[in-house]
Amino acid sequence: MSEATVPPRRISARIGGIAESATLAVDAKAKALKAAGRPVIGFGAGEPDFPTPPEIVAAAAEATKDPKNHRYTPAAGLPELREAIAAKTLRDSGYEVKASQVLVTNGGKQAVYQAFATLIDPGDEVLLPAPYWTTYPEAVALAGGVTVPVVTDETSGYLATVEQLEAARTPRTKALLFCSPSNPTGAVYPREQVEAIGRWAVEHGIWVITDEIYEHLTYDGVEAVSMPVAVPELADTCVVINGVAKTYAMTGWRVGWMISPADVTKAASNLQSHLSSNVANVSQRAALAAVSGSLDAAHEMRAAFDRRRQTIVKLLSEIPGVQVPTPQGAFYVYPSVKDLLGKEIRGVRPATSVELAALVLEHAEVAVVPGEAFGTPGYFRLSYALGDEDLATGITRMGALLAEAE
């Protein structure tokens, strides 16, 4: 075919290169199979199975009646919500910021995207401890950046060290994405390691984008330490990502935020003014009620997640060939299934965790997300943000299937 007859590209290379969210894809497939009548139990989606607390819903319902919420508002967010987020940040993590540093976004994903879009130029490198949340590398790529994975495993509790980060650093390193408590592993960095990484970043002039969306979901007395609190001198080169989704069971309300130095917040606000304008005002009013209220409902949900955490770790530990570290935060476990690869199960020898996950879905009717989606093949991510009965039934079914491996 001559150059003249080559059909024009229909989808841009930039967008065509984006991979579908693996976690949402698994969740959608599980729901489709369930709708078709199959008793599929899904461990894919990272969202609480609880309803949004009633006082937050009531605040939203009341907001619908006020005509001022039917109009455009400032792109960066309602002024009173930005003030409340600043106050909540001081209350919950000890980080003192001004309302002008807060940008309210359509969920945490938009905050992640805008942080990279605002800071990264083409060719800039971003250090990304792996396993990582599936959206991070896609957001880096959309900004023209280059993801540099820093691979961890169960032997270190999925925690990256300063030595690993330093080995991955080059003259093009612009930023580090830091997530604690972690999605997908549930790992929580201890204070001394947070401090060491923060000091290393300051020393080398590296920006830190720290995702704190799971800040209130920690167990066994473990504390989630905010890096700019542990290392105050980092504040001028740090972006904090957060939102109401996980703490208040508000995934569908789509309210997140980024907190950054004033010049970064202003630039990201300019971007958002063209990208999406303001977040839906009713959702912002609901978020205002959430961050201004008590954490009682969040603590009740955490107690349920803790109970499920202990159950899922116990059940997974009983499956031959599965190695499962106990997570200290979020609502995920990230077991290694490497010892099962290549073994025969129902006449098949899965060579990858993708193939093994497909086998589990087909024969055990359990949906899990394979480690390839998070940059580390040979693992499964399972969310335990589902009912106790479904959790026990699903892991038992999966365990019975995997026990056939030989």
Give the model confidence (pLDDT) of 81-108 as tens digits. Answer: 999 999 999 999 999 999 999 999 999 9
Edge-first strand listing for the sheet containing 332-333: 332-333, 380-383, 369-370
What pTM was estimated for this model as a whole? 0.94
* Per-residue pLDDT at 23: 73
| CA angle centred on 142, ends 124 and 228, rounded to 5° | 60
Backbone angles phi, psi at 369, to 5 degrees: -105, 125
Give the model confidence (pLDDT) of 160-195 as tens digits. Answer: 999 999 999 999 999 999 999 999 999 999 999 999
Residues 329 and 187 sit within 8 Å (Cβ to Cβ): yes
Backbone angles phi, psi at 19, to 5 degrees: -85, 145
Average pLDDT, the chain: 95
Backbone angles phi, psi at 117, to 5 degrees: -60, -30
Instruction: Identify the CA nearest to 346 among candidates 354, 337, 338, 356.
Output: 356
Q: For strands 125-130 and 173-179, give the pairing.
A: parallel
Instruction: Identify the CA nearest to 247 among candidates 405, 93, 47, 24.
Output: 47
Give the model confidence (pLDDT) of 297-349 as tens digits. Answer: 999 999 999 999 999 999 999 999 999 999 999 999 999 999 999 999 999 99
At 47, is the pLDDT very low, low, confident or very high (cuts 50, 70, 90)? confident
Residue 301, CA distances (Å) to 190, 192, 315 in order? 23, 28, 21
Identify each DSSP E strand in 164-281 by its residue range. Answer: 173-179, 207-211, 238-243, 256-259
